[in-house]
Amino acid sequence: MPKAMDLTGDRFGRWIALERVPEGKRTKYLCRCVCGAEKLVAHGDLRSGKSKSCGCLRRDVTIKKNTTHGMSHHNRLWRIWVNMRTRCYNSNTTYWDRYGGRGITVCKEWRDSFQSFYDWAMDNGYSDSLTIDRINNDGDYEPNNCRWVTVQEQSYNRSDNHFVTLEGTTLPLDKWSRKKGLNPKTVRDRLTRGWSYEKALNTPPDPRWTK
């Protein structure tokens, strides 16, 4: 019998074959799904298309079908949920380096259930004019670290590409914050509350919070 072709590194549906694992006469591969789950999958099941994901593909199709027919006015929330998971678990996405590439993940509760994400959104101020924002830009997508904000408010929290011109010099917001001896998060919070850049960057921190 000819030796099975090595599939390491190839993609099959949502699976990426990471490592060839011989098991007697059968060959399996340790595969990682785009959602982050890992599993041993038989060579033949990958080649034939019998296995295309860890199960999340079927779950997503079912949820999308139910969303389309049962909650069609919240298709925007569905897209936000899909995009949130994609940028954290799909290394082929455009902004992977800002999310999954930095170790940002989606909590299991939201990753596995659109309904859980939907319920949280409805209970925490969602509207079609707002976008999801991580309070700590280095933290994960989870209930305690997310909120609904305007696009402008979110831009204040993306200091990696948010440049500010002050005193004739243009620098990233984080660099300005540290140059002024301030915590970048403090400055972003001030801007969210409506402070001007000049006031936010030139006002010393409240001594009550620096002790």
pLDDT for 161 beyond 50: yes
Taking only the tens place, the pLDDT of each residue in 96-129 is: 888 898 899 999 999 988 889 988 998 898 888 8
Cα separation, 85 vs 191, in Å, equals 28
Mean of per-residue pLDDT scores for the chain: 80
Q: Give one DSSP letter per residue of 132-186, joined into a string.
A: EEESSTTS-BSGGGEEEE-HHHHHHT-TTS-EEEETTEEEEHHHHHHHTT--HHH
Return the sign of the alpha-carbon dihedral for residues 134, 140, 145, 148. Answer: positive
Taking only the tens place, the pLDDT of each residue in 63-93 is: 666 555 445 447 888 889 988 999 999 888 8
Nearest to 39 by CA among 52, 29, 25: 29
* Per-residue model confidence (pLDDT) at position 136: 80
Strands (E), the chain: 11-12, 15-23, 26-33, 38-42, 131-134, 146-149, 163-166, 169-172
